[in-house]
């Protein structure tokens, strides 16, 4: 760090520090933000601003790098990572926020360059950002008809391979809508915990507080805040009347459809979002065996269940591949996946996940599904779910499983949901370009009851 430390904004300086940690691979975006704001005297407003800057700049870094080059006298010249991060942060404030004056974005970026670099780099930052303000028309993109992958990847800031996948899976317009929606700041979503509160009680509380919200499209006990943070956290969150959860995640439990008094199994259960939702739908009657290999995450699940008033979850510390038990009437397996349905909520995911990751995950997922199938009793139901939109981890894993396990069959999700989220094969599929939803997949598989052969 340079010795000369003039006037600078400590909030933006913290953002630069975090961007460096993320770029080095030492931390995920979430870890970097938590580490940087811990034990620092930032206000709640400061922390929200930091999150906006760090997550936005991380998501849009390919687009930002693309745009910056049009204002550099020597675009190919190598720059330090600190300088790159300062320019990225400046361009993000100029072109991707609507409440920061251009003059403030420029001057604060120059101050950061003085603080982290030197006077020469500060002059460069000043010249580049001022040129961008005066002549934004210099920025051009590849032709979307001649090079759709190049255009979409640069404009919306994604790796080529993911854009190419989407274009093969969807039409151009659908792909563009999907990419644009995953760049928007995610809304806060939550469900009413009907063990402690009625849906009507939550509605009254939100209206009383003047909160703008919409209720779930597919699950009426889910809510989505239209703007801002949650205003009455003490009354609703800490009391256990609500649980922060995305509606798409809850839809897998609707498909699971556990009944009161049932004996069910949740594999890879922690931190307990799906298990606790299943418990509320079971009216806190029956038994949910919740398996997870992480002790800290299981402890978090126990705390969540305590706060929510859930009494029927039985935590088990075990690797789900080694777990012995059952057979169970219902089994849900929410597998580790690439997470490409939640790229709006995890800003660095798009730069961390590769096709090789997907290929490895698909093999693990298939093994886990085979193991889970052995724990389902005859006539019982197995739910396979993910939070990704990649077919190789979803449809392909299930179809290959069915080839290996002829005693299972698909039960269509159209028994529970409208056809707009149900595929031709009967799988539940949601996408981030649908209002208030993230990307998810779930398949309901029924184990056949053996019939006696006729002599």
What are the pLDDT digits (tens) for 209-262? 888 999 999 999 999 998 766 666 777 888 999 999 999 999 999 999 999 999
Q: Helix, strand or coil for residue 110?
A: helix
Whole-number CA gyration radius for the chain: 24
Query: What is the C-alpha to C-alpha distance for residues 74 and 26, in angstroms, rounded to an integer?
Result: 30
Catalytic residue IDs: 387
The answer to whether 413 touches 428, Cβ cutoff 8 Å, is: yes
247-447 topology per CATH? Rossmann fold (3.40.50)
Q: Between the CA of residue 171 and those of 155, 175, 230, what are the distances in Å?
A: 17, 6, 37
In this structure, is the dihedral angle defined by the CA atoms of residues 369, 371, 376 and 378, taken in order, positive or negative? positive
pLDDT tens by residue, 387-423: 999 999 999 999 999 999 999 999 999 999 999 999 9
pLDDT tens digit string along 239-253? 999 999 999 999 999
Cα separations (Å) of 292 from 53, 265, 333, 361, 440?
34, 11, 11, 18, 21
Per the CATH hierarchy, to which homologous superfamily does domain 10-138 belong?
NusB-like (1.10.940.10)
Sorted by where each begins, the domain ranges of the chain are 10-138, 148-181, 247-447
200 preceded by a cis bond (ω within 30 of 0): no
Q: Is residue 401 a contact partner of residue 408, using CB atoms and an 8 Å limit?
A: yes
CA distance 15 to 52: 9
The three-state secondary structure class of 138 is: helix
Q: In the 8-state DSSP scheme, what is residue 186?
A: P
Residue 424 tokens, joined = 């031709």
* DSSP designation for 119: H
How many helices, marked H, and strands, marked E, lie in the chain?
A: 18, 12
Check: CB of residue 206 under 8 Å from CB of residue 164. no
The model carries a pTM of 0.92
455 residues of the chain, pLDDT tens digit each: 444 456 899 999 999 999 999 999 889 999 999 888 887 889 989 999 999 999 999 999 999 999 999 999 888 788 999 999 999 999 999 999 999 999 999 999 999 999 999 999 999 999 999 999 999 999 999 999 999 999 999 999 999 999 999 999 999 999 999 999 999 988 899 999 999 999 999 999 899 888 899 999 999 999 999 876 666 677 788 899 999 999 999 999 999 999 999 999 999 899 999 999 999 999 999 999 999 999 999 999 999 999 999 999 999 999 988 898 879 999 999 999 999 999 999 999 999 999 999 999 999 999 999 999 999 999 999 999 999 999 999 999 999 999 999 999 999 999 999 999 999 999 999 999 888 999 999 999 999 987 655 55
pLDDT digits (tens, 9 = 90+) for 59-71: 999 999 999 999 9
**Beta-bridge mates of residue 314:** 289
Phi, psi of 330 (to 5 degrees): -135, 135
CA 405/CA 373 separation, integer angstroms: 9
Question: Of 118, 133, 108, whose CA–CA distance to 79 is shortest?
Answer: 118
Pairwise CA distance, residues 94 & 59, whole Å: 15
Torsion of CA 278, 280, 285, 287, to 10 degrees: 30
Q: What is the pLDDT of residue 365?
A: 97
Q: What share of the chain is helix, strand, coil (3-state, %, to 5)?
A: 50, 15, 40
């Amino acid at each position: 760090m340079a010795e000369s430390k003039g006037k600078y904004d400590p909030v933006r300086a913290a953002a630069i520090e975090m961007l460096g940690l993320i770029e080095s691979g030492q931390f995920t975006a979430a870890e970097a933000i938590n580490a940087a704001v811990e034990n620092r005297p930032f206000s709640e407003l400061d922390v929200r601003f930091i999150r906006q800057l760090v997550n936005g700049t991380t998501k849009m870094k390919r687009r930002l790098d693309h745009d910056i080059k049009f204002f550099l006298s020597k675009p190919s010249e190598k720059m330090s990572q600190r300088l790159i991060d300062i320019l990225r942060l400046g361009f993000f404030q100029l072109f991707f926020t609507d409440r920061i004056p251009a003059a403030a974005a420029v001057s604060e970026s120059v101050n950061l360059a003085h603080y982290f670099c030197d006077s020469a780099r500060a002059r460069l930052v000043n010249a580049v950002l001022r040129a961008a303000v005066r002549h934004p028309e210099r920025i051009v993109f590849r032709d979307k008809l001649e090079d759709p992958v190049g255009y979409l990847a640069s404009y919306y800031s994604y790796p080529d391979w993911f854009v190419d996948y989407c274009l093969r899976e969807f039409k151009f317009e659908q792909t563009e809508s999907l990419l644009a929606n995953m760049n928007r700041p995610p809304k806060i979503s939550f469900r009413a915990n009907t063990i402690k509160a009625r849906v009507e009680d939550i509605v009254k509380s939100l209206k009383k507080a003047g909160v703008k919200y919409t209720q779930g499209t597919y699950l009426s006990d889910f809510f989505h805040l239209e703007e801002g943070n949650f205003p009455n956290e003490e009354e609703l969150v800490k009391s256990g009347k609500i649980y922060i959860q995305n509606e798409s995640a809850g839809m897998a439990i609707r498909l699971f459809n556990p009944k009161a008094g049932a004996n069910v199994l949740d594999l890879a259960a922690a931190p307990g979002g799906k298990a606790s939702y299943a418990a509320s739908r079971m009216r806190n009657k029956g038994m949910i065996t919740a398996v997870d290999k992480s002790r800290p995450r299981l402890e978090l699940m126990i705390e969540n269940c305590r706060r929510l008033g859930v009494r029927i979850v039985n935590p088990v510390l075990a690797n789900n591949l080694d777990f012995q038990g059952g057979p169970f009437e219902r089994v849900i397996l929410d597998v580790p996946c690439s997470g490409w349905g939640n790229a709006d909520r995890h800003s660095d995911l798009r730069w961390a996940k590769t096709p090789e990751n997907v290929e490895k995950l698909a093999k693990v997922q298939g093994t886990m599904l085979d193991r889970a199938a052995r724990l389902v009793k005859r006539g019982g139901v197995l739910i396979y779910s993910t939070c990704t939109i990649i077919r190789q981890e979803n449809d392909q894993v299930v179809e290959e499983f069915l080839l290996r396990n002829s005693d299972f069959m698909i039960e269509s999700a159209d028994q529970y949901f409208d056809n707009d989220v149900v595929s031709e094969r009967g799988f539940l599929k949601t996408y981030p370009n649908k209002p208030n939803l993230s990307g998810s997949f779930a398949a309901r598989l029924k184990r056949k009851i053996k019939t006696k052969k006729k002599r």
